[in-house]
Amino acid sequence: MEMVPVGKDGLELEAAVGEIARGCGSFAIECSDVGGRVVEVGAKIVAQASLLDQLREAATGLRAEQEQVTEAAADAREYATQARGHLEASKPVVDGAIETFAGLTELVLRLGKRMDNLEEALREVQAVALTIDQIGRQTNLLALNATLEAARAGEAGRGFAVVAGEVKKLASDTRSATERIARTIERLTEEARGIGDEIDAGVASGGEAHARTAELANVLGETLVFVDALDTRSSNIAEGSLAIRRNVQDFEMGLTSLSSEAQANSQALTEARDRLGDLERVSNGLLNLVSSTGVRTADTPFIDTARRLMLDIRLVAEAAIDDERLSIEDLFDRTYVPIAGSDPEQFTTRFVAFADAHVRPLLDRVVEGDDRVLATAMVDANGFLPTHISSRSLPQGPDPLWNAEHCRNRRFFMDEQTALNLKSEAPFIVETYRQDLGGGRYRPVKSICLPLHVKGRRWGNVEFAYLD
């Protein structure tokens, strides 16, 4: 729009419009700043809500595990009760076994004593047999003497000889019987001695079994004490687990409430951010309206510079097309070929080389001519930047974060505002926004977008960012 001379009233009006423009810009910047801070708070609330959800899930899992502990404690108590019942039922059996072993041991001891008496009786029988044997031997001697005397007596001693023969035969039979008795007594003595040895071994084994059975009774008693203690501990664990489960349930309910409140607050902040965005758009609209009145404001010099830059880019492109150094097809090439290994990913088109060689110097010249100018760029209809100022078109390195800041050429940058600007047919758009400097630092920035037409076709936009 052409600027016309104004009188005193016009100067006052121009000053008032300039103040309005500055006020709209400041208001838009404040809206952007507050909106940004609301976004930060909202992001923190969302993060906290996510953390609360994680805690709630953890509490839910803890409650489920606590229920398992409670069930396990109840099972342990039930098992302890059953074990105690079995042990108490086994105690009479063990006590009966102990009594039985004691009775068997006493019986074996009595048998041992009787075997001792039997051995003593056998020894006495053996002594009697020896006495009988001696008597038999003496009788045999007497019979021999009687026979000799009967032989000397002749016919008169014949009857006596018969008696002597019978006596001799009796002595012989007595000796034979005595020998058999001795052998039998000897065998009985050996058997009695063997039985006695076995009885002694049985007595020892019975005593050991009795002792072990007594130990078993002691172990049974100790086990009953242990089972009683286990039952008590299981009962305490079950009661503690129930208390913990109630506390976890309360904690879970509190987390659920906090999470719901956080989500509600996040929703409220989102609505506040949207309304601030609406105010920001209204403020930017007023700023654009004031800037379009033809009255000079603080933004007018930057608008003029941005318009000259756009015209210079158009003239360079059209001259190259006229000289056949650039075809209209190459200028509007939309075949984006990925550059291998780039991170963030970059692309190339048939226009990129020309843009680097002929458009970038124009962008650099504007930035270098005014310290308040932050950056200039050209963006096509799809949000692609074929080139950028030299400080933002450096070769990529190994660090993607560094690349993202210093290698912004040959990349896509399409957001909601950029899409709206590309659809706009206004001669220029002035807007404000809050630039993220990292580390929680921001600064207010103004931006001018102008449509770029080459040979009558809309190529995209020229963007111009500066400090107010």
Torsion of CA 19, 21, 24, 30, to 10 degrees: -80
340 — phi, psi (to 5°)?
-60, 135
Q: Which CATH architecture has domain 64-255?
A: Orthogonal Bundle (1.10)
- Residue 393 forms beta bridges with which residues? 407
d(CA 39, CA 207): 89
Helix ranges (H only) for 323-415 are 328-331, 352-354, 360-369, 400-406
Tokens for 448, please give them: 């001018």
d(CA 273, CA 37): 9
Per-residue tens of pLDDT for the chain, all 468 residues: 444 444 455 555 566 565 665 666 666 666 666 666 666 666 777 676 676 677 767 767 766 776 777 777 677 667 667 766 766 776 676 677 667 766 766 766 676 677 677 667 767 766 776 777 677 677 767 767 767 776 777 676 666 666 667 666 766 777 677 777 777 777 777 776 777 677 677 667 666 766 666 676 676 677 767 667 666 766 777 676 666 767 666 666 766 776 677 677 667 666 666 665 665 566 566 555 566 656 677 888 999 999 999 999 999 999 999 999 999 999 999 999 999 999 999 999 999 999 999 999 999 999 998 999 999 999 999 999 999 999 999 999 999 999 999 999 999 999 888 999 999 999 999 888 776 666 666 777 889 999 999 999 999 999 999 987
Q: Please list, in sequence order, all residues whose beta carbon lies within 8 angstroms of the beta carbon of residue 31, skipping any fewer than 6 positions away.
A: 276, 277, 279, 280, 283
Q: Which residue has the tokens 């220029």?
A: 428
Nearest alpha carbon to residue 85 among 228, 237, 238, 234: 228
CATH class assigned to 292-466: alpha beta
d(CA 399, CA 321): 38
**CB 22, CB 297: distance < 8 Å:** yes
pLDDT at 448: 94
pLDDT at 368: 94
pLDDT at 214: 67
Q: At what angle do helices 300-322 and 360-369 cross, to 10 degrees?
A: 160
Domain with CATH 3.30.450.20 in the chain: 292-466
Domain with CATH 1.10.287.950 in the chain: 64-255
Cα within 13 Å of Cα(247), Cβ side: 7
d(CA 252, CA 257): 9
Nearest alpha carbon to residue 381 among 446, 332, 430: 332
Work out whether the CA dihedral 261, 264, 266, 272 comes out positive or negative: negative
Number of H helices, E strands in the chain: 8, 8
Q: Tell me if the pTM is above 0.85.
A: no
pLDDT at 332: 98
**CB 272, CB 42: distance < 8 Å:** no
pLDDT at 1: 43
Q: Cα–chain-centroid distance for residue 349?
A: 49
Q: Please list, in sequence order, all residues whose beta carbon lies within 8 angstroms of the beta carbon of residue 70, skipping any fewer than 6 positions away.
A: 238, 241, 242, 245
**CB 291, CB 24: distance < 8 Å:** no
Task: Give per-residue burial for 39-49: e unless 16+ CB within 10 Å, then b.
Answer: beebeebbeeb
pLDDT at 432: 82
**CB 347, CB 410: distance < 8 Å:** yes
